[in-house]
Amino acid sequence: MTATAAPYVLGVDTDATTLREADHLLQALAAGLALPEGVFGCTHLVRDGRPRIALSLAAEAEPVLCTARDRLTARGYEVRDGAWDERGRAVLFPGASALTGTLTLADLLARSAIDRVTVLGTPDEPAPDTRLVTRDHVRPHWQDGRLVLAAMPAVGGTLVPFEDPDPTPCCADH
């Protein structure tokens, strides 16, 4: 199942302006709505005159999202049918909570909804026994209906997810 091709998908407009803020909001909403493990929750960059980060929730069961729609609307969120785009950045996905510490790519793929891992700067798929240091922050993106994690080489022949959990703000040294 993909978040964009799931039978039931909701878009949630927000005022979030950073990925960190959107991640926390998405996780708080999922916890507050008691969403089950199988729900996909994604962030989407919106550039329509009011730049922000919107959210999407996708599930195979309509009742899960009907209840969520009602509760989100009651909280003042603008909710619409469908995701903002087909290239969402997944924060919530099946198996996400099991992706902590260091694990092999074979384990990552077996434990989660992630379909594929790519390594920046290389055309080849990494070996299944390659170790990934998750930094407890794994954010794959939807690409052509598949959940793909971009990784980059790290110390000792390991990989790390491309997205840094604690990025240095722009102009931090000025």
What pLDDT digit, counting tens, does each position of 23-67 carry? 999 999 999 999 988 899 999 999 888 899 999 999 987 787 888
Tokens found for residue 67: 């209840």
Helix (H) or strand (E) holding 24: helix 19-32
Which residue type sits at 55? L
pLDDT for the residue 37: 82
pLDDT for the residue 174: 46
Chain position carrying tokens 């989660």: 112
CA distance 45 to 75: 22
Reported as a single tens digit per residue, the pLDDT across 78-129 is: 999 998 888 899 999 999 999 999 999 999 999 999 999 999 999 999 999 9
Report whether pLDDT(173) > 60. no
Report whether pLDDT(149) > 50. yes
Evaluate whether 47 touches 4 at the Cβ level (below 8 Å).
no
Instruction: Outline where DSSP puts E strands in the chain.
Output: 8-12, 40-46, 52-59, 79-81, 89-92, 102-104, 116-119, 131-133, 141-143, 146-153, 159-161
